[in-house]
Structure 1
Amino acid sequence: MKYPNRIRVDFERPSHGWLPVKVIMNDFELDIDASDVPVNPIYLLYLAILDVVAGIASKVWWHLEPVGYYFDFTQPQPGLYRLVISYHSDSQVPEFLYETKGSAADIVLPFCRAIKNLDSCKYDEQDWPSLEEKQLTHLSNVIELLKKRA
């Protein structure tokens, strides 16, 4: 089944612990600079992808110091993925921003490709931590698995 909710994800060149992140879906656009403190959100995204493909709900915290955005990934049924984006600040109740559903090609693979594209970008380790080679290889294997299922 085809879904009209394909996501476009771009990670631009990081600098001094900040990563420009752009996520575009239909009528929704999020353009932020995420921090790698206290945890690298790309690593959290990598873990979330592994979990959601295995059917485990997962969350990515894109921290902006001190506020942040959360991406909640779920797989409500085999082959159907759901992404909910919310905004959190210390003084507020989480604010729902956007929700979309779709296939792995619509929801998961755009994030996988963005991670791989970021890895191919040349930047200093002091600007942003890289995933380990074995993690990138595992991600490539997940991409191939999802393509075969599509």
Structure 2
Amino acid sequence: MKIKHPSDYDGTRGKPGSQFTGDVYPFVTMAQTDGVTINTVDFTPGARTFWHHHEHGQILQVLAGRGLVCANDEVHVIRAGDTVWCPPGERHWHGAAPDSYMVHTAISLGETVWADAVGDDEYAQQPLDGATATDGKDQGDVR
């Protein structure tokens, strides 16, 4: 038996040419097979993707922690158990809340087109769903 933990990987730290701001630990489950890529990503608090969109859309399944997702300048809080559908061509970003880790599985359909980094001011926008990025359950809760 072999068990891999996030700390066993170097992870990816946001740097020029990367697709993330902050420290993330991506685990590719299936790389571009028939136009589908599946990966699970562990985001440290405040870590997030760059702006991007997908040719045929993307499904995000939040497994643990609390995060944020933004499309059309609307930021929403997402928690363990939530599933997010990002339609084809919709420009968006996603990542951990400022005070919580987040783990999600991303199912990306077709090509992913990466754009610019999400600025700190964009990341700090107030979520529109009546919650704040720092409210709700603490990191140890599943919901």
The answer to which structure, 1 or 2, has the higher relative contact order (CA under 8 A, 6+ apart) is 2
TM-score normalised by length of structure 2: 0.30
TM-score normalised by length of structure 1: 0.30
More strand by share: 2
